[in-house]
Amino acid sequence: MTTEALLDLGALGDDFIRDPYPVYARLRARGPVHRVRIPEGAQAWLVVGYEAGRALLADQRLSKDWRRASPALGVRKVSVGTSMLGSDAPDHTRLRRLVTREFTPRRMERLAPRVQEMTDALLDSMTGGPGRSADLVQALSSPLPMAVICELLGVPSLDRQVFRAWSETAVSSLDAEARARATAAMTGYLAELVAEKRAAPGDDLMSALIHTSDDDGDQLSADELLGMAWLLLVAGHETTVNLISNGVLSLLTHPGQLAALRSDFGLIDNAVEETLRYEGPVETPTYRFTTEPLDVSGTVIPGGGELVLVAMADCDRDPARYPDADRFDITRDARGHVAFGHGIHYCLGAPLARIEARIAVRSLLERCPGLRLDTDPARLSWRTGMLIRGPQSLPVAW
């Protein structure tokens, strides 16, 4: 067992929110497992380093099922319904099989022309006014993924702004009551959406999921459809919002890399992968709970529903895996990063996120010569909590 004192990450304040990497690096130097209190208030076992983190992401002795959580943790489930994100095998296997029939990489790639149209329209609005500056989060990073996933699922366009507000509160707020209110509002909204799609199906993914079945006739239940709607609408856009913002911010604060990409847009896919590695949109994944004691490099994490968090942000900054890991380099081989997770819970929407980021970043740079950050990077305000990582706003000028 570790004997080190409990580290209160919330007490580290804005410095940790803005730049958690030095803290993770100091912990990694002492070992892979540390007892912490997370900013949301619960105590957890934080795992740092690439090898240990990657192994635990695929370790099915850690459960994603909230019923396995120890009541002593005092944590409250945020997501709604039953989804892959909160299920273990064999339930997870069944759900993923049903959803994968509709959510295929080929179907996602067919969306690319439509993603380009949406991106062009947003950039028209951003650059068409009298000014030559904007908040990129509000102008492009946020509305593009939201528009894509809402169109994919057939969500009315007029509801997107309010849904975005609920979503951001549910996954980032440190106020438990605010998270609960946002989750309740989203639950009611999504239940109505599923009911409407069941009554009047359209040519969209949610309608397809309602009617899809496997060879044995198995279908998603009402609760599973609700969970799937939550997973796609929240996870399906929150991560991509911050992937786009983090990618642009990383490029604008590394002018040599920005120049390299401008001179050869053949590097765009690699630039997206390096962004995922260097400044990925998910700092730690959704909660995992112990089902039995786990020995990680000599430290025993007790069983009984203890909360375990893998610092994916640190895994991908581990110099044992990536030489000069704190350097942003769009020409490096970033393969093997865990920004989309690892194991059975690897992100189903990874192909779509890559498509959106690739199109958004390239189109922005092509449309906005001289694009620059319109504030001191130290003045940026970052998302709170340890799930989603990205700036709350990103002032740019061109």
| Pairwise CA distance, residues 364 & 368, whole Å | 6
* pLDDT grade for 390, boundaries at 50, 70 and 90: very high
| Pairwise CA distance, residues 294 & 232, whole Å | 32
Residues 360-373: pLDDT tens digits?
999 999 999 899 99
Q: What is the mean pLDDT of the chain?
A: 91
Residue 363 has what pLDDT? 98
Residue 215 has what pLDDT? 58
**Percent of the chain, pLDDT > 70?**
97
Residue 227 has what pLDDT? 86
Q: Which domains does the chain have, with CATH numbers?
A: 7-397 (1.10.630.10)
Q: Which of 169-178, 179-188, 233-242 has the lowest mean pLDDT?
A: 169-178
Residue 1 has what pLDDT? 46
* pLDDT grade for 205, boundaries at 50, 70 and 90: confident
Q: CA 118, 120, 125, 131: dihedral to nearest 10 degrees?
A: 150
| Pairwise CA distance, residues 345 & 348, whole Å | 8
Give yes or no for residue 236 having a pLDDT over 90. no
| Pairwise CA distance, residues 133 & 155, whole Å | 30
Residues 32-42: pLDDT tens digits?
999 999 998 89
Annotate the chain with three-state secondary structure: CCCCCCEECHHHHHHHHHCCHHHHHHHHHHCCEEEEECCCCCEEEEECCHHHHHHHHCCCCEECCHHHCCHHHCCCCCCCCCCHHHCCCCHHHHHHHHHHCCCCHHHHHCCHHHHHHHHHHHHHHHHCCCCCEEEHHHHHHCHHHHHHHHHHHCCCHHHHHHHHHHHHHHHHCCCHHHHHHHHHHHHHHHHHHHHHHHHCCCCCHHHHHHHCCCCCCCCCCHHHHHHHHHHHHHHHHHHHHHHHHHHHHHHHCCHHHHHHHHHCHHHHHHHHHHHHHHCCCECCCCCEEECCCEEECCEEECCCCCEEEECHHHHCCCCCCCCCCCCCCCCCCCCCCCCCCCHHHCCCCHHHHHHHHHHHHHHHHHHCCCCEECCCHHHCCECCCCCECCECCCEEEC
Paired with 44 in beta bridges are 36
Residue 238 has what pLDDT? 85
Residue 2 has what pLDDT? 46
Residue 358 has what pLDDT? 98
Better-predicted residue by pLDDT, 177 or 315: 315
Residues 262-321: pLDDT tens digits?
999 999 999 999 999 999 999 999 999 999 999 999 999 999 999 999 999 999 999 999
Residues 111-164: pLDDT tens digits?
899 999 999 999 999 999 888 999 999 999 999 998 898 888 887 766 777 777
Q: What is the mean pLDDT of residues 73-88?
A: 82
Give yes or no for residue 43 having a pLDDT over 90. yes
Residues 44-54: pLDDT tens digits?
999 999 999 99
Residue 59 has what pLDDT? 97
Residues 322-332: pLDDT tens digits?
999 999 999 99
> Angle 77-78-84 (CA atoms, 0-180°, nearest 5)?
85
Q: What is the mean pLDDT of residues 163-167?
A: 79
Q: Beta-carbon neighbour count of residue 56 at 10 Å? A: 24
Residue 214 has what pLDDT? 56
